[in-house]
Copies of this chain bind each other. A is one copy, B any other.
């Protein structure tokens, strides 16, 4: 087993790479190991128990690679594993992509009126709505399901007029909702944040769950004195399906080239 010196993170696919991108920006000395469960993507339609069992499997795999902190960079997995479900099992800090975004949203809102853009599955799960009102009971949450944004981002159409038309339409109800905070509750959406920003009132603050998650990782490393300051960082990528496919698609989400992706099929199947 390696030394416990890496940040471990996982998602059902490539989306979590937007979280990794922010972690790399904020913590350029840290080594990262990323797991994409591409054989079992999408998690959205699967049962809670199935997703928890997948998440545990992946967490064990990452722990064996020597991680010092675990980031659940997948909204569906983070929602299924809410309430410290993984933190209770593992002796390293576990950070969910949902919690820091929710915390930030309730800090920045003045009116308590918060919109959440997410996939239909995340909206239906009620994860953001529940977490927000748990922290700020007087909050009014307006979830907006944006089912086409994931396929559009995956087609790299983040600067396309068709995407702009669709974004405009999804954001239309904001006028009536009169929110002061807009939470991007899907790992794909940071790639559309400029377009979204251009379509909304300047007075509305955007909370991007990838950025807030990276800040929380930085904070947890500080609290637990786990920072790496001197090494040259390593980045490793593991997937449960075709590595090349992930490599080609992942680069767009990560924002820089991915050179090698390992297949972890045997390791996971052998459990």
Binding site for B on A (CB under 8 A): 147-148, 151-152, 154-155, 157, 160-163, 165-166, 169
A257 to chain B, nearest CB (A): 23
Chain B contacts for A157, CB-based, 8 A: 148
A38 to chain B, nearest CB (A): 9
Q: Give A39's nearest chain B residue, CB to CB.
A: B45
With A147-B155, A148-B152, A162-B165 already in contact, 10 other A-B pairs whose C-beta atoms are closer than 8 Å: A147-B151, A147-B154, A148-B151, A148-B157, A151-B151, A161-B165, A162-B162, A162-B166, A162-B169, A165-B165
A199 to chain B, nearest CB (A): 14
A186 to chain B, nearest CB (A): 15
Instruction: Name, among A147, A161, A162, the residue most crowded by chain B CB atoms within 10 Å (CB to CB).
Output: A162
Chain B contacts for A154, CB-based, 8 A: 147
A156 to chain B, nearest CB (A): 11
CA of A152 to CA of B162, assembled, Å: 11
Q: Give A241's nearest chain B residue, CB to CB.
A: B45
A51 to chain B, nearest CB (A): 16
Q: Is the interface of A mostly helix, strand, loop or mixed?
A: helix
Chain B contacts for A169, CB-based, 8 A: 162
Chain B contacts for A155, CB-based, 8 A: 147-148
A144 to chain B, nearest CB (A): 14
Chain B contacts for A166, CB-based, 8 A: 162
A191 to chain B, nearest CB (A): 16
CA of A213 to CA of B162, assembled, Å: 32
CA of A163 to CA of B162, assembled, Å: 7
A39 to chain B, nearest CB (A): 9
CA of A148 to CA of B169, assembled, Å: 17
CA of A166 to CA of B155, assembled, Å: 11
A66 to chain B, nearest CB (A): 32
A170 to chain B, nearest CB (A): 11
CA of A231 to CA of B166, assembled, Å: 46
CA of A147 to CA of B148, assembled, Å: 12
Chain B contacts for A165, CB-based, 8 A: 160-162, 165
Chain B contacts for A152, CB-based, 8 A: 148
CA of A152 to CA of B152, assembled, Å: 10
A147 to chain B, nearest CB (A): 6
A5 to chain B, nearest CB (A): 35
> A-B pairs with the 4 shortest C-beta distances?
A162-B165, A162-B162, A151-B151, A162-B166
CA of A169 to CA of B151, assembled, Å: 16
Q: Give A165's nearest chain B residue, CB to CB.
A: B162
Q: Give A150's nearest chain B residue, CB to CB.
A: B151
A245 to chain B, nearest CB (A): 10
